[in-house]
Amino acid sequence: MIPLTGAHRAAAAGNAPAFLHGVASGDPLPDGVLLWTRITPTADAVPGSGRGPDTPVGWEVAEDRSFASVVARGTATATAATDHTVKADVRGLRPATQYFYRFTAGGTVSPTGRTRTTAAHDATAPAVRFGVVSCADWEAGWFSAYRHLAARTDLDAVLHLGDYIYEYGSGGFPGADGVIRSHVPAHEILTLADYRARHGNYKTDEDLRNLHATHPVIAIWDDHEVANDAWSGGAENHDPATEGDWALRVAAAKQAYFEWMPVRPSIAGTTYRRLRFGRLADLHLLDLRSFRSQQTSIGNGEVDDPDRTITGRKQLDWLKSGLASSDASWKLVGTSVMISPVAFGSVPAYLLGPLGKLLGLPAEGLAVNVDQWDGYTDDRRELLTHLRESGIENTVFLTGDIHTAWANDVPVKAATYPLSATAATEFVVTSVTSDNIDDFLNVPPQTASLVATAAVRAANRHVKWVDMDSHGYGVLDVTAERAQMDYYAISEKTDRSASTEWLRSYRTRSGAQKLERVDRPVR
């Protein structure tokens, strides 16, 4: 745990260096891991300010928490050019090993972080376990889900599937409870300084800092790291006439993201990349915002246009090639938006608005979510056909985005499921805090959502379970025999000390490519 101590605050106030935003690790490898911190060299060097002198920062990695056995050390310089963030890509470590790390600057020692390397690429790893999270709106509540994941000692890493921050101005995405806590800056973020300040604001949250200090985090972005419903040339929440050039905004958002996140910039400076966990699992991580075509309107047939894409040609070829060549038992795919098709039957009028906000539907309730893979059906058809024709088994999509929890078979032809084949399975985790249907309607859980859930299940037989009420997280446990997702809910997102409870578990057995319910979580 890494509380923001009075000593740290006093150091910053006294113009001594301070580690006010914690420490983090990410993108673990068999022989290394990426370490991160941010130093506040002087009291006025707040995130996004451009102020503060160049500051030498030392780092060290040890096999024990007391640092009696240091195995790697080095130095870096924190500068205003990178918002005084520091990264160290440490190599030479042992596979499948727990390590501790810390930073120093001007006599100040950072909190201690814990991390873990992955199994050797050709090793037969017995199991791998991830915490899985998505969609954390600062103003909508407290990050209790992070606190409960930080308290676990059985995770190899935490997978964050996007919407780590939100770009709105204060009150721009309010829930039924209004603004629980105001973010910084108060206006909608547009510039590099704005995005830096918002990232810095998020990392003042104690639960988020503890999560980063306890587990390596593997993150991809979705839209709100830049702007709502982003695509390659713009976003729903971007007006060039009043907010400037889209390319400049994207560049600022991505620069701040890579400065403030323990993520290695990958192909074309995006977040699509691949990590391996021995011969047990390959994790393919996607960027579904940087290369996609603009979302189309409903009902005009453009969702099936083969010239439209959600992945971009190079990324889709990269994914197909990686899946086909993988010798791992499981092929995990981190996708920020849902790949399973979703149609809607008879939904009462009063539910169409909230469902539209969550699922990208128009007010008329037509059966396409144009911001997800449903709006880019040719890419989905090509990918699922590739899985079937190439005989690629044990593909599991891991998804966030829609503030609700789902367990889905991914059908080749949804209209004829379950008589037709499935190509994969999909686990969708709910939001950490971002509003769900009950929040939008300001009604108690298990009221309006029951009607919406029934409509979804009736029209989509491949959807095994939907929870539209909860906020929380998932824990994915993978062995050679099966991949199981345990879904957890927090008691109340507006309660800083919220408790957690297990909701439901689903698994897919090796070779089955279908889900089955499990009566208890993995212990």
Q: What tens digit of pLDDT does each residue of 481-495 get?
A: 999 999 999 999 999
Please tell me the predicted confidence (pLDDT) of residue 299. Answer: 64
Which residues are within 8 A (CB) of 10 and not within 5 positions of it... i.e. 6 or more apart?
A: none
Least Cα distance to 183 among 204, 163, 213 occurs for: 204
Both 154 and 76 in one domain: the answer is no
CA distance 176 to 186: 19
Round the average pLDDT of the chain to a whole number and report it.
91
Whether omega before 185 lies within 30 degrees of 0, making that bond cis, reads yes
Q: What confidence score (pLDDT) does residue 368 get? A: 57
Domain end residue (candidates: 116, 145, 176):
116
Cβ–Cβ < 8 Å for 213, 155: no
Please say which residue of 62, 94, 116 terminates a domain: 116
Number of other residues whose CB lies within 10 A of the CB of residue 165: 24
Contacts (Cβ under 8 Å, ≥6 apart) of 473:
131, 132, 133, 145, 148, 149, 429, 430, 432, 488
Do 39 and 84 lie in one domain? The reply is: yes
Whether 347 has a pLDDT exceeding 90, the answer reads: no
Are residues 184 and 48 part of one domain? no
Report pLDDT digits (tens) over 38-79. 999 999 999 999 999 999 999 999 999 999 999 999 999 999
Domain count, the chain: 2
Give me the sign of the Cα torsion angle 44, 45, 48, 51. positive
pLDDT digit string (tens) for 223-262?
Answer: 999 999 999 999 999 999 999 999 999 999 999 999 999 9
Written as one letter, the residue type at 360 is: G
Instruction: Check which CATH number belongs to the domain holding 460 and give it.
Output: 3.60.21.70
State the amino acid at position 116 in one-letter form: R
Global pTM reads: 0.93
Q: Is the pLDDT of residue 367 over 60?
A: no
Q: Tell me which residue of 37, 40, 38, 75 sits closest to 56, measured CA to CA.
A: 75
What does the DSSP 8-state code read for residue 11?
H
Asked whether 32 and 88 are in contact (CB, 8 A), the reply is no
Is 476 inside a domain boundary?
yes
Last residue of a domain, one of 66, 101, 116: 116
> What is the domain extent for residue 291?
118-518
Same domain for 214 and 91: no
% pLDDT > 70, the chain: 89
Burial class for 15, CB neighbours closer than 10 Å (0-12, 13-18, 19+): middle
Res. 362 pLDDT band, cuts 50 70 90? very low
Residues 33 and 141 reside in one and the same domain: no
Q: Mean pLDDT, to the nearest integer, of 114-122?
A: 98
Q: What is the pLDDT of residue 365?
A: 38
Mean pLDDT across the stretch 3-25?
69
Quick one: 360 and 332 in the same domain?
yes
For residue 498, what pLDDT is reported?
98
Looking at the fold, whether 65 and 210 belong to one and the same domain comes out as: no
Same domain, 85 and 194: no
End-to-end CA distance of the chain: 23
Instruction: For residue 95, give the CATH number of its domain.
Output: 2.60.40.380
pLDDT in tens, 276-329: 999 999 999 999 999 999 999 766 678 889 999 999 999 999 999 999 999 999
Is residue 1 in some structural domain? no
pLDDT for residue 514: 97
- Give a yes or no: residue 218 inside a domain: yes
Q: What is the pLDDT of residue 164?
A: 98
Say yes or no: 75 and 148 in one domain. Answer: no
Residues 481 and 504 in one domain: yes
